Structure 1
Amino acid sequence: MEVDAVVVGSGPNGLVAANLLADAGWETLVIEATPKPGGAVRTEELTAPGFRNDVYSAFYPLGAASPVLAGLGLEEHGLRWRHAPAVLAHVLPDDRYVLQSRDLERTARSVAEFDERDADNLRAEHASWRRLREPLLDAIVRPFPPVRSGARLFKTLGTAESLRLARMLTLTARGLGKEKFDGAGARLLLAGNAMHTDLGPDQAGSGVFGWLLTMLGQDVGFPVPEGGAGRLTDALVNRLTAKGGEIVCGTPVTEVTLSGGRAVGVRDADGRTVRARRAVLADVPAPVLYRDLVGAEHLPARLVSDLDRFVWDDATIKVDWALSSPIPWSAAEVGQAGTVHIGADLDGLAGIANDLACGRVPHDPFLLLGQMTTADPTRSPAGTESAWAYTHVPRGESWPDSRLRRHADRMEEVIERHAPGFRDLIAGRAIAGPAQLQKGNHSLVEGSINAGTAAIQQQLFFRPVPGLGRADTPIDRLFLASASAHPGGAVHGAPGSNAARAALARDGWAGSVYRATVRAAHRAVYR
């Protein structure tokens, strides 16, 4: 079989890349190892009949705001966003809470309960966000370096504010919270949202992640696809097949085939080959692509050495529940939030992050919880709730079923403290530890959900290793299209879009110049 491009992996980045290549008229084949497309964007009935559970990811603020996904017009292919009455609640150990709503004044009232000055602080921060939103998001999702969008951002901010924005990128969530806000509530919004990555509140660079998610939550909310996360995948698949693209599932790729230093196709586990006339794009983690599919013998020695220092994000344990009624929170307003952070104040978050850094399983886990029927009533029968929670644990731990069950029980104890009677509502439960997550999605290596740490030393031109910060690899016509590439994790489609753009540029009228430039740059960084 021969096509213009082979895309390895059908996660959102792979599907975005395939769509953009199909838009350009390329004959495109997506090859997926598992039985269904979608990667970490899938929905199944895991807990009980009639309860639709998002197997991995669930809320998509960056997806709703992404210029990449917006450009695909997925609403024309069946995607519809739904919102909970409130965006997010962070519940403290003493049952106080801060609530974020898309209604700015409602959020302002909530943060003002901790310090009245923060109502105005939040309004001012939101006004600043609205001013730089468009050029900033464009700069984030476009290929590195983002010359045009970066210039727009600089024009919007000017020299002085651009310099201070650059400084903000390095701050911890705790430090940024102290600079922006006066009370614990608003500061917790930043720190709790930073914990959606693998960064604790005292790690450099955590502030910007917390700030970005907080501002997006205020702006577009934390929306979910109606009917389940899998509907986002369905929309990408529908669009691709309408453009003539093809997807083959249940076919693990074991090798990227090379000839003369160029990627020319792939070989699957049954020994079958597919030839790629123009490009191979890989929506798999960087270590998997380079070590397993290409092989160290075909790569610069320095890149191979750098891979030894590649840092994965923390492992994950996720529990899904079918509940006979909504969660009975002691603070009733928390029941309106789609996303709930539970288990720690700011110092508690720091302690949990320290436990993880030291290789210890936190005794009282910090939970990120989703109330899915609250956000989308189609997820379960009327009067019930489809819910989940996940927590991070150190990599390298052994999690036999008995230990997983005990940890799930501990997670339920955390919820029970703030919602007495929660356990009595459980009609079904499904537990996924690191091994189960990887079995269902081969890219979630040992339960790492972001294809590499979000820490500052593995961002921009340090992602996935020190280099160009681009999708181009040292192998001609082979492109990294996964979250291991800039700008990293979350469902926004940028790595896939950037890989498709690079493939099109390499094959374009100036392709020979493009190749020579990239080749010279790779020689400089890997010699």
Structure 2
Amino acid sequence: MTDAVVVGAGVNGLVAANMLADAGWDVVVCEAAGVPGGACRSAQVTAPGFVSDLFSAFHPFAAASPALRRLDLPAQGLEWCRAPQVLAHPTPDGRCALLSMDPARTARSLDDFAAGDGAAWRTLVDRWAPLRAPLLDALFGAPFPPLRAGLRLARQLGAADGLRFARFATLGARRFAEEEFTGEGAALLFAGNAMHADLGPESVGSALLGWLLTMLGQDVGFPSPRGGAGRIPEALVARLRERGGRLRLGAAVHAVEVRGGRARGVRLADGGVLAARRAVIADVDAVSLYRNLVGAGHLPARLLDDLTRFQWDHATIKINWALSGPIPWADPRCAEAGTVHLGGTLDDLSRTAAQLARGLVPADPFCVLGQMTTTDPTRSPPGTESAWAYLHVPQLPRGDAGGAGIAGPWDDEAVARVVARAERTVAAAAPGFAARVLARHVQSPADLQGSDAVLRGGAVHGGTAALHQQLVFRPVPGLGRPETPVAGLYLGSMSAHPGGGVHGGPGALAARAALRATGPFGPARRATVAALNRRLYAPSRPTAPTAPTGSNGPTATGPATATRREPPAAPSGGTARPSHGRGR
């Protein structure tokens, strides 16, 4: 018997395991795959000597994360690399919104769109500086509600500015940029970064996400680990083993053992059982945890009904390239940036987001492109470039705005058509790009899920980043905390608050909740959480709606009558997780 079993060796699971081991707990991490890392891995998949990050690649959240910072991964050899510039967004008229760690350089690029926008940008950066620490602690370092961190943030803002910040948090990126800037350069930075998730320029909350990523880019850059994204889980595993923790690879979890309303351990796919004295922490998506690993018999019916409304984020197609030389950008500013956004004007971004919202494959996809050798020279032989691009597509397309007739499940032909569309987008900004492609490796939505079951249907954020599935609504309406209705079982994946990204926040919060539940005030905490959960998941009144009418969530168990389209079901074994492609 061990003190805790962690299901899934992604960054969240490994962060949780490290925190428990630091507290002296005996911890075992079970990972279904043959390697740790979940969606934070790297490999040579294009050509010998070319290292590709298979999922997450650039990590501003990781570099700024309170949870990862406390674990001191540089002591385990983790080293961050940065490109000369953070991000470039070229436009068809020859201008380029450039995000630099030098605010003056960013400001000059925005002045090209409208005189005076550079000064407005510098004002925004000045406002960010005092908010940085309390905001990051409130978002990623504290359970919901973040009382202490929230009070620090409130004191920093004051009552009047606090109200204005709350209003800002509800804005779309387009509206925020219209209020603060004259040209659209800043809007391209905010909206493009928000579209790393599934938030379009007009989406509620896209201003906050876009602003947060651009400010972090200004502050810590968009760094990548020297040698590949896999260095992050490698450092976490090394640290865990130093503290006596154990990692079992190829150990798929078939079920959480629940007796007397409490999680007692896990049953493995090979029939073995691992008993846990204190806690089971699940770094798997919420739907798989509740439906497959726990089962309806141990859960409130209302939680299961809420799961029918769970919304996955868009699917993703990712292309990895081995290139004979640097990308021949028409705008030389793009050559300096680790990340390049190819999406045209702000109206073009809105058009793409609207097409995705309608279930259409975008006619002109918004491509996020990463230049990895530009960022880290160890990624490919001298004079070459290891690069990738990804784009979002509907989970199950209803049609094709590009007129190529793509509809239905993502088969090889449909994926190939989208890849060709993406490469034309790159070539339009970099004439001669095609001639430099030595090798190509494509990851379809099915490939992404096959590599990590948590990436359901190619969704890489564990569920939509939209406001209706954040905070107390993540993964379903509840406490916004890692505790589940099963005592001793904690959700510590990107399906939980604070959501997707390589920051370790969900895993850290789950570990903290487990530790506090066994502390001096543990009985009172457990009783309070159990009482709140009983009230939250009490049967609905007869007059309440019983069946949602529009979702891409999985099919319900029970009486719901709405017809749903869902991404392919994930295997029930526990693999781990974080984000993707650019890996926020």
Normalised-by-shorter TM-score class = over 0.9
Which residue is 2:215 aligned to?
A: 215
Asked whether the equivalents of residues 96 and 333 of structure 2 are also in contact (C-alpha less than 8 Å), the reply is no
| Deviation readout 1:97-139 (Å, 9 max, x if unpaired) | 1111101111111111101211110000000000111111110
Q: Deviation at 1:343?
A: 2.4
Match for 1:310: what amino acid? F
Which residue is 1:502 aligned to?
A: 513
Match for 2:58: what amino acid? F
Unaligned runs of 5+ in 2: 397-407, 539-584
| Whole-Å separation in 2 of the counterparts to 1:264 and 1:116 | 63
| Whole-Å separation in 2 of the counterparts to 1:441 and 1:382 | 32
Pair 1:426-2:437 in alignment = yes
Asked whether the equivalents of residues 95 and 112 of structure 2 are also in contact (C-alpha less than 8 Å), the reply is no
Q: How does 1:101-120 map to 2 (within 5 A)?
A: 101-120=100-119
| Whole-Å separation in 1 of the counterparts to 2:451 and 2:526 | 37
Pair 1:145-2:145 in alignment = yes
Q: Deviation at 1:363?
A: 1.6
| Deviation readout 1:156-182 (Å, 9 max, x if unpaired) | 110001111111111001111111211
Q: Deviation at 1:94?
A: 3.6
| Deviation readout 1:389-434 (Å, 9 max, x if unpaired) | 0000001242222222222111111000010110110111100111
Which residue is 2:525 aligned to?
A: 514
Match for 2:80: what amino acid? W
| Whole-Å separation in 1 of the counterparts to 2:71 and 2:139 | 18
Asked whether the equivalents of residues 8 and 281 of structure 1 are also in contact (C-alpha less than 8 Å), the reply is yes
Partner SS for 1:340? strand
Q: Deviation at 1:247?
A: 0.7
Q: Deviation at 1:377?
A: 0.4
Q: Deviation at 1:298?
A: 1.1
Asked whether the equivalents of residues 316 and 445 of structure 2 are also in contact (C-alpha less than 8 Å), the reply is yes
| Whole-Å separation in 2 of the counterparts to 1:245 and 1:416 | 48
Match for 2:317: what amino acid? I
| Deviation readout 1:194-233 (Å, 9 max, x if unpaired) | 1011011111111100010011111111000011000111
Which residue is 2:560 aligned to?
A: none
Which residue is 2:176 aligned to?
A: 176
Asked whether the equivalents of residues 89 and 339 of structure 1 are also in contact (C-alpha less than 8 Å), the reply is yes
Which residue is 1:52 aligned to?
A: 51
Q: Deviation at 1:523?
A: 1.1
Asked whether the equivalents of residues 110 and 185 of structure 2 are also in contact (C-alpha less than 8 Å), the reply is yes
| Whole-Å separation in 2 of the counterparts to 1:296 and 1:345 | 48
| Whole-Å separation in 1 of the counterparts to 2:415 and 2:464 | 24
Q: Deviation at 1:254?
A: 1.3
| Whole-Å separation in 2 of the counterparts to 1:104 and 1:96 | 18
Which residue is 2:546 aligned to?
A: none
Which residue is 2:402 aligned to?
A: none
Q: How does 1:9-408 map to 2 (within 5 A)?
A: 9-141=8-140, 142-396=142-396, 397-408=408-419
Asked whether the equivalents of residues 90 and 341 of structure 2 are also in contact (C-alpha less than 8 Å), the reply is yes
| Whole-Å separation in 2 of the counterparts to 1:186 and 1:260 | 55
| Deviation readout 1:36-76 (Å, 9 max, x if unpaired) | 00011100001000000000010001111111111000000
Out of 93-102 and 24-33, give the one that drifted further. Answer: 93-102
Partner SS for 2:71? coil
| Whole-Å separation in 1 of the counterparts to 2:93 and 2:124 | 28
| Whole-Å separation in 2 of the counterparts to 1:10 and 1:442 | 12
| Whole-Å separation in 2 of the counterparts to 1:227 and 1:118 | 38
| Whole-Å separation in 2 of the counterparts to 1:449 and 1:95 | 32
Match for 1:237: what amino acid? V
TM-score with structure 2 setting the length: 0.89
Match for 1:91: what amino acid? P
Partner SS for 2:500? coil
Q: Could you list the runs of 4 or more consecutive aligned residues of structure 1 that deviate by over 4 angstroms after TM superposition?
A: none
Asked whether the equivalents of residues 80 and 226 of structure 1 are also in contact (C-alpha less than 8 Å), the reply is yes
| Deviation readout 1:343-383 (Å, 9 max, x if unpaired) | 22111111111111111101211100000000000100010
Asked whether the equivalents of residues 52 and 379 of structure 1 are also in contact (C-alpha less than 8 Å), the reply is yes
| Deviation readout 1:19-43 (Å, 9 max, x if unpaired) | 0000001110111111100011100
| Whole-Å separation in 2 of the counterparts to 1:400 and 1:508 | 52
Match for 1:58: what amino acid? A
Unaligned runs of 5+ in 1: none
As a proportion of its length, which structure holds more helix? Answer: 1
| Whole-Å separation in 1 of the counterparts to 2:173 and 2:167 | 13
Match for 2:224: what amino acid? V
Q: How does 1:455-494 map to 2 (within 5 A)?
A: 455-494=466-505
Asked whether the equivalents of residues 475 and 496 of structure 2 are also in contact (C-alpha less than 8 Å), the reply is yes
Partner SS for 1:178? helix
Asked whether the equivalents of residues 303 and 537 of structure 2 are also in contact (C-alpha less than 8 Å), the reply is yes
Q: Deviation at 1:143?
A: 0.7
| Whole-Å separation in 2 of the counterparts to 1:298 and 1:348 | 48
| Deviation readout 1:275-298 (Å, 9 max, x if unpaired) | 111100000111110001001121
Partner SS for 1:341? strand
Asked whether the equivalents of residues 310 and 475 of structure 2 are also in contact (C-alpha less than 8 Å), the reply is yes
| Whole-Å separation in 2 of the counterparts to 1:245 and 1:149 | 30
Partner SS for 2:361? coil
Match for 1:101: what amino acid? S
Q: Deviation at 1:332?
A: 1.1
Asked whether the equivalents of residues 324 and 383 of structure 1 are also in contact (C-alpha less than 8 Å), the reply is yes
Pair 1:453-2:484 in alignment = no
Match for 1:137: what amino acid? L
Partner SS for 1:71? helix
| Whole-Å separation in 1 of the counterparts to 2:255 and 2:172 | 40
TM-score with structure 1 setting the length: 0.99
| Whole-Å separation in 2 of the counterparts to 1:92 and 1:431 | 26
| Whole-Å separation in 2 of the counterparts to 1:457 and 1:407 | 30
Partner SS for 1:339? strand
| Whole-Å separation in 2 of the counterparts to 1:182 and 1:363 | 28
Asked whether the equivalents of residues 95 and 418 of structure 1 are also in contact (C-alpha less than 8 Å), the reply is no
Partner SS for 1:126? helix
Match for 2:81: what amino acid? R
Partner SS for 2:338? strand
Q: Deviation at 1:93?
A: 3.2
| Whole-Å separation in 2 of the counterparts to 1:246 and 1:159 | 48
Match for 2:135: what amino acid? L
| Whole-Å separation in 2 of the counterparts to 1:470 and 1:423 | 48
